Amino acid sequence: MATTADFKNGLVLQIDGQLWQIVEFQHVKPGKGPAFVRTKLKNVVSGKIVDKTFNAGVKVETATVDRRDATYLYRDGNEYVFMDSENFEQHQLPESLVGDASKYLLESLPVQIAFHDGTPLYLELPVSVELEVTHTEPGLQGDRSNAGTKPATVETGAEIQVPLFINTGDKVKVDTRDGSYLGRVNA
């Protein structure tokens, strides 16, 4: 059990038999009336995001979530195979559980897998990954570094927007949360 004072991003709550992860929360103390906590919760299984308000000091049941370090090995049909970094056990996660993270998975990428009662819940990638651009149109004469962006395909098959000066073969740093370009990596 936890009170609203214990809330933090990433905490998993058990509400009505379902697991919900806190994405954002804000303590609100209005000038008139009791304090409350406004939260944005993500359903761990379906990925659905809802807003929920709790009165301050309310006790909420928490779920025990075990986050384990793992390494991405390979894709096998509709499943992705990861190796546990501690006991070298292999975990096969279905495509539905991996979701959009598959756009940034490279062999031997370190990740975290969250488990609840031995069942994998979700996959956490590093905040950024370094990927090689496999295809992009060349920039045009007169293009400046801040003149705009163009689409580029990276080695995992994902398409991202990059500045006009990026060429095929360049390594770029990509934010795994939203797929945005963070910078060029010098080889």
Per-residue pLDDT tens, the chain, 187 aa: give them.
Answer: 888 888 888 788 888 888 888 889 999 898 888 999 999 998 887 778 899 999 988 898 888 888 889 999 998 888 999 999 888 888 888 888 887 888 888 888 899 888 888 888 888 888 889 999 998 888 665 555 556 788 899 998 889 988 888 888 999 999 888 888 888 887 6
- What is the DSSP secondary structure assignment for residue 117, as one 8-state letter? T
- Beta carbons within 8 Å of 87's beta carbon, 6+ residues apart: none
Give 5: exposed, middle or buried? Use CB within 10 Å, 0-12, 13-18, 19+: exposed
**CB proximity list for 113: less than 8 A, separation 6 or greater:** 67, 68, 70, 82, 91, 93, 120, 122, 123, 124
Does the domain formed by 128-185 have CATH 2.40.50.140?
yes
From the options 2.70.70.10, 2.60.40.730, 3.40.630.30, 2.40.50.140, give the CATH code of 66-124.
Answer: 2.40.50.140
Residue spans of the domains in the chain: they are 2-60, 66-124, 128-185
CATH class of 2-60: mainly beta
Taking the C-alpha atoms of residue 12 and residue 41, their distance in angstroms, rounded to an integer, is 9
Nearest to 131 by CA among 95, 162, 100: 162
pTM of the model: 0.70
Ramachandran quadrant class, 28 (left: phi over 0; alpha: psi -120 to 50; beta: rest): beta
Do the domains 66-124 and 128-185 sit in the same CATH topology, yes or no?
yes
| Bridging pattern class, strands 79-84 and 66-76 | antiparallel
